[in-house]
Amino acid sequence: MIGHGILILVSVYLPPKKELFRSDLEALFALGDAVILFGDFNSKIINWKCNYSHRNRREMEALEKNLHFNIVTPLTPTYYSNNNNRRPDILDITLMKGVALKLSCIEPLQCLDSDHRSVLMSGKSGSRTGPAKFDRRELPRDVIELIRDKNAALRRLGKYPTCDNKSRARCPT
């Protein structure tokens, strides 16, 4: 890959009741110069479009500043509970340090029948570090309509967690 010697990819699972420790992230980021940690950190923050902030929130925010890594989150939920009283949520995130990649996609795969969605992340080599600026009005009309439908379905599911609304939130078309 252009711009990297070795890129270390680590799949992570942090159980919901376990605390996020600085030493754990330091050890994982010490595996190489360019490291991607990807998975279920159970560290929800409402700024990431999660339903609520988890107790690990403060630690994750402090570590992001102190250890100088980037956090990338999907735009849609990665977890759909089988319990209709629980709303879909984002559990899977990506932490990147020293990575010269431009993420072109990070999204849950909606085609699998499981409460936890597999997440697809794809990137292209590049040196840009800031987020891309774009104007939503420049998107094609059908894409704008699809985004509106998806957002409406997710809002409906949040207010009325029925099986029908859960199905529509997974695939609004």
Q: Residue 59 pLDDT more than 50?
A: yes
Are 128 and 139 within one domain?
A: no
The domain containing residue 28 runs over which residues? 7-133
Task: Give yes or no for residue 165 having a pLDDT over 70.
Answer: yes
Please give the residue that has the higher pLDDT: either 154 or 54: 154
Residues 68 and 116 in one domain: yes
DSSP structural state of residue 30:
T
* Residue 127 resides in a domain: yes
Give the residue from 1, 67, 78, 97 showing the smallest Cα distance to 40. 78
Q: Is 146 part of a structural domain of the chain?
A: yes
Whether residue 130 is predicted with pLDDT greater than 50 in this model: the reply is: no
Residues 114 and 153 in one domain: no
Mean pLDDT of the chain: 73
64 and 53 inside one domain: yes
Whole-prediction pTM value?
0.58
- Cα–Cα distance, 37 to 97 (Å, whole number): 9
Q: Are residues 68 and 152 in the same domain?
A: no
User: Is residue 129 located within the same domain as residue 74?
Assistant: yes
